[in-house]
Amino acid sequence: MPRLRRLVAGHFTPARIAALRPRIVEIAADLLAGLPEPGTADLVSGYALPLPVTVICELFGVPEADRTVFHVWSNELVMPASPQTGASAAGALGAYLADLIHRKRGAQEADLLSDLVATAREPGAESPLTSEELLGMAFLLLVAGHETTVNLISATVHALLTHPDQLELLRSEPELVGSAVEEALRHYAPVHATAFRFAAEPLDLAGTHIPTGDAVQISLAAASRDPLHFPDPDRFDLRRQGPAHLAFGHGLHHCLGAPLARTEAVIAVRLLLHHCPDLALAADPAALTWRTSMLVRGLSELPVRIGSVGAR
């Protein structure tokens, strides 16, 4: 395992993430309690977004007062309105994180960033993090925590509300919620492409010649709908069997946050459906808009009708 990945991988094991479950349930329940009932609400800004943002900020010890501006920067970084605004958000985020790391050095707090700060300066450690590496790691993890799971939660709900037979199936067999999240990962690919790879040697792939040094970006969205591997790939099907999707990437760089993202999405969908037995889309599906960048794709808004709340 690459050195930098090894230094943080221990914090993202399924066991560490399972320990967060009660807190994730609590945050989701609080958010649901804040939705109008009955009424209509935007499920992205009211639920799918604040859930993972609160979890990742608590995990990293980002003070509550800073979370809104942090999110504005991270959003601008991933989907910049222009190259200038993207660069200025990256600068602001980097300066903010450098300052937060500085503050963590002085205070012995119980959060992941404080742990990384401690790892960074352990005397005689086999491979301590340099300050730049620490900053880069905090940057990557916090931005990933902000810009990905929101799209998975909203995509899963969108899929269920636009496929009433699958929603009915899930309501009758709630234990399929994990399958619903996996199928949404395959069907929507919230991170739709990998970071660039560079060809180490010349390569011929499906009739295309790739010379040494050329940049290659892999479409995970296309891979997860490859008809050679996924029969009837455009169908959203909770009972789908067969090969695993590629929504979290593959191999050496397989997503480190996958256990966290899966846990959050399963809890979010399970609690939402339980809380809102009559949940329905409050907009024409064709009118919904999607925000797409080089890496991520997700709904801008998901207007829903809440109806009566409580058990059916």
Q: Which residues bind ligand HEM (CB under 6 A)?
A: 5, 56, 140-141, 144-145, 148-149, 152, 190-191, 194-195, 220, 247-249, 253, 255-257, 260-261
Using the minimum distance from each CB to ligand HEM, give the nearer residue, 141 or 269: 141
Q: Which residue is nearest to ligand HEM (CB)?
A: 257
Which residues pair with residue 216 across a beta bridge?
197
For residue 81, the number of C-alpha atoms closer than 13 Å in the C-beta half-sphere is 5
Q: Are 114 and 106 in contact (CB under 8 A)?
A: no
Mode of pairing for the β-strands spanning 203-205 and 208-210:
antiparallel
**Minimum distance of ligand HEM from residue 186's CB (angstroms):** 11
Using the minimum distance from each CB to ligand HEM, give the nearer residue, 98 or 258: 258
Using the minimum distance from each CB to ligand HEM, give the nearer residue, 54 or 148: 148
Using the minimum distance from each CB to ligand HEM, give the nearer residue, 113 or 191: 191
**Minimum distance of ligand HEM from residue 261's CB (angstroms):** 4
**Minimum distance of ligand HEM from residue 17's CB (angstroms):** 10
Q: Helical H runs in the chain?
A: 3-9, 14-33, 43, 50-60, 67-78, 83-106, 112-121, 131-147, 149-162, 164-172, 177-188, 220-223, 258-275
Using the minimum distance from each CB to ligand HEM, give the nearer residue, 46 or 259: 259
**Minimum distance of ligand HEM from residue 84's CB (angstroms):** 26
Tokens of 25: 């349930």
**Minimum distance of ligand HEM from residue 141's CB (angstroms):** 5
**Minimum distance of ligand HEM from residue 251's CB (angstroms):** 8
Using the minimum distance from each CB to ligand HEM, give the nearer residue, 224 or 306: 224
Alpha carbons 224 and 74: distance in angstroms, whole number: 27
- Cβ neighbourhood burial of 185 (10 Å; 0-12, 13-18, 19+): buried
Alpha carbons 186 and 232: distance in angstroms, whole number: 13
